[in-house]
Amino acid sequence: MAFCKNIYILSGHTGSGKTTMLTEWAADHPNAGGILSPVINGRRHFLDISTGEKQLQETPQGSLRVGRFRFSQTAFNWAYEVLQKQLQKGYEWLIVDEVGPLELSQGKGFHRFVTEIINSEPHPAKLLFVVRPTLVNEFIRTYSLEKVKIFPKNCLKGQLLPELKGIVLCGGRSTRMGMDKALLQYADLPQWKMVHRMLGSFCEKVMISVNQHQGDKWCCKDTFLWCADHPQYNDKGPLTGILSCLEGSDQGCFIVAVDYPLLKTEHLIELWNARNGHSEAVCFSVKGQKEPLVSILEPAAVAKLKKFAAAGGNSLNKFLGEIKTVKVELADMGFMLNINTEQEYLQLKSDPDFRNA
């Protein structure tokens, strides 16, 4: 995979105002260039951020087609030239709005530019690609990217939220499973590595929380940041691993347990974009019930969590109910499926819908 330190992804649903927010953000950042895709009079255009020049992108005569939409190859050629020129001008940010099915399924649209820029020599510009949540994994796979960062949507609104530490929770006993859940391999990597990779798109530092048995048996301590459970936090359930990783620090954290094989980057983006300057935590909710093992704790929550634990508290779910927690419930929460037995594991692995997802 290509190591692409300067590549960022802005992700949000269709119609969520990404282009509008980018337009306003770019107006306040004179060192930002690139291409935006505003809808003007019902049709999508390309907009050169630096000059304000526009080109009609969506046209019935276009030779490029995605579903019922047709796009102009001439407009994409123009956008390509604009991006190439602005790349040489030394902008701090270069925006590409957006990369979608045209690029990922057909190898057209901005595909040429994305491929060339990734395979070229290192460049100073930070590249910000707009990608829908459901296509983020495919974008990363298609262009063999590593160390891509998800750009916080709140930054476009002027909210500078603190960086988070990622925590991969591996340390459950896996009693019903009869084998270590962290080592189960649903795809090309064991589950702990899959979660580590996902969190790496949100957090600069990702720690892997393991129990003492895991620490002795299979941790490769020279490659990743490992944290074995600290004895003083024993018998606190998931809080044992979380508190061990937070020892000596009040930094906020993004917690993901290894229990959820259907969880994808697109789902974590939902929590990421739900952060705001007022809440202390964000978690998923299924039928009104909080799911604490995939959650974000802001620094204020971490400080309170330590006091909660010191007073004898050992339930993360109860703690989230006592602080200002944003609960995110999507129309389909099936990705929060928790696999607990070997039979469930084998059944899921053999499911053709899962293999093709």
pLDDT at 185: 86
What is the H or E stretch that residue 355 is in?
A: helix 352-355
* Average confidence (pLDDT) over 133-161: 90
Query: Domain extents for the chain?
Result: 2-157, 165-350
List, for residues 262-283, the tens digit of each pLDDT value. Answer: 999 999 999 999 999 899 999 9
* Average confidence (pLDDT) over 172-195: 82
Average pLDDT of the residues of the chain: 91
pLDDT at 221: 64
* Average confidence (pLDDT) over 304-333: 96
DSSP class of 332: -
pLDDT at 357: 56
- Fold classification of 165-350 is Spore Coat Polysaccharide Biosynthesis Protein SpsA; Chain A (3.90.550)
pLDDT at 2: 44
* Average confidence (pLDDT) over 70-84: 97
List, for residues 220-238, the tens digit of each pLDDT value. Answer: 666 788 899 999 999 899 9
The class that CATH gives domain 2-157 is: alpha beta
List, for residues 9-65, the tens digit of each pLDDT value. Answer: 999 888 888 999 999 999 999 999 999 999 999 999 999 999 999 999 999 999 999
Give the length of the chain: 357
Q: In whole angstroms, what is the distance from residue 88 CA to residue 8 CA?
A: 19
Question: Minimal CA–CA distance to 273: which of 18, 101, 6, 30?
Answer: 18
Fold agreement between 2-157 and 165-350: no
Long-range CB pairs of 347-352 (<8 Å, 24+ gap) are 348/186, 348/261, 349/186
pLDDT at 344: 82
Give the global pTM.
0.90
pLDDT at 251: 96
Nearest-10 Cα torsion for 18, 19, 24, 29: 90
pLDDT score of 318 more than 90:
yes
* Token duo for residue 41: 């009079």
Least confident of 10-14, 82-86, 174-178, 320-324: 174-178
pLDDT at 3: 41
Please say whether the beta carbons of 226 and 163 come within 8 A.
Answer: no
* Band (5; pLDDT cuts 50, 70, 90): low
pLDDT at 346: 82
pLDDT score of 79 more than 90:
yes
Please say whether the beta carbons of 178 and 196 come within 8 A.
Answer: no
* Band (339; pLDDT cuts 50, 70, 90): confident
Share above pLDDT 90 across residues of the chain, in percent, rounded to a whole number: 71
Q: In whole angstroms, what is the distance from residue 122 CA to residue 119 CA?
A: 9
